[in-house]
């Protein structure tokens, strides 16, 4: 069934919320709206994406009327150092929204994957266009199966709980949580985000991981976040490497 946005509009009166039956990517639509001067906080949600964008140029699997595919237009006045933790901030927001909707405790994989157990249920993508940021959040909600290449690594709220979940309730919770975590970042800076992320993520400390970085692979045990939010990995020879970007997976 398509989203019924009545409850969402009632919860956020005056908020620009664009619903699309089908689009290439909500990221593109949100960037266009942002460039045309739409209000901060504008939400773009699609039932289906034919070219959903993931990190590292990957495709985000966007089955029709099944997941939640949302982009926010953000106009944040943030110092550079706080901007770097934007994706982690939204990861915390997505995890909170999932907990409130489906009563599931998620794990967070640095920097911006949301997991149930060891499988991914949501991902965050941030794009910057001058002073406008477009934050995309994809959540697997009611998928009952995934394409063969994704099924070992992906799950949905429905698969995890054994029952369908309301995408409308999840969208309301997601907007509330994103607003509140972004306010926290704007007013309190990165430190509260880093503390919360460290508490919420099993990946930040003591996890044996592989990190893919520009073609090379680093193996080690995670050893916390530095003050900028980068991941520290202790390698088998005892040296510590700071990971500034890259895909992290468990050993
Ligand atoms: C990731 O690779 O983990 C990030 C995935 C982000 C997917 C969302 S779905 C809504 C928005 N539109 C897109 O095309 N991508 C993001």
Percent of the chain with pLDDT over 90: 90
- The tens digit of pLDDT for each residue in 127-156 reads 987 778 999 999 999 999 999 999 999 999
Q: Which residue has the higher pLDDT, 39 or 84?
A: 39
Residue nearest to atom 8 of ligand 1 (CA): 138
Per-residue pLDDT at 216 exceeds 90? no
Q: Cα(121)–Cα(140) distance, rounded to whole angstroms?
A: 5
* Site to substitute for ligand 1 among 87, 115, 136, 171, most atoms within 8 A of C-beta: 136
Q: Residue 80 corresponds to which tokens in the numbers above?
A: 């550079």
Give the tens place of pLDDT for each residue, 29-42.
999 999 999 999 99
The residues near 88 (Cβ < 8 Å, ≥ 6 apart) are: 108, 110, 111, 112, 193, 194, 197, 229
Q: Does ligand 1 lie within 6 Å of residue 71's CB atom?
A: yes
Is the CB of 49 within 6 Å of ligand 1? yes
Residue 162 Cα to ligand 1 middle (Å): 24
Q: Is there a contact between 242 and 248 (Cβ–Cβ < 8 Å)?
A: no
Q: What is the pTM of this model?
A: 0.97
> What was the pLDDT predicted at 83?
83
């Amino acid at each position: 069934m398509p989203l019924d946005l009545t409850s969402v509009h009632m919860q956020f009166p005056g908020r620009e919320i664009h619903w699309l039956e089908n689009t290439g990517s909500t990221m593109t639509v949100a960037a266009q709206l942002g460039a045309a001067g739409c209000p901060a906080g504008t939400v773009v949600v699609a039932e289906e994406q034919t070219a959903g964008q993931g990190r590292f140029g990957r495709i985000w699997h966007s089955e029709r009327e099944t997941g939640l595919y949302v982009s926010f237009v953000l106009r944040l006045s943030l110092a550079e150092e706080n901007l770097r933790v934007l994706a982690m901030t939204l990861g915390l927001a997505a995890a909170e929204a999932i907990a409130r909707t489906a009563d599931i405790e998620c794990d967070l994989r640095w920097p911006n994957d949301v997991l149930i157990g060891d499988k991914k249920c949501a991902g965050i993508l941030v794009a910057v266009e001058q002073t406008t940021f477009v934050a995309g959040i994809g959540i697997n909600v009611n998928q009952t199966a995934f394409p063969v290449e994704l099924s070992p690594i992906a799950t949905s709220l429905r698969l995890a709980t054994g029952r369908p979940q309301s995408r409308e309730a999840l969208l309301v919770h997601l907007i509330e949580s994103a607003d509140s975590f972004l306010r926290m970042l704007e007013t309190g800076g990165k430190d509260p985000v880093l503390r919360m992320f460290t508490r919420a993520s099993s990946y930040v400390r003591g996890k044996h991981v592989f990190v893919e970085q520009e073609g090379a692979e680093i193996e080690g045990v995670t050893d916390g976040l530095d003050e900028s939010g980068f991941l520290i990995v202790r390698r088998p020879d005892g040296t510590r490497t700071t990971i500034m970007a890259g895909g992290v997976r468990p050993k």
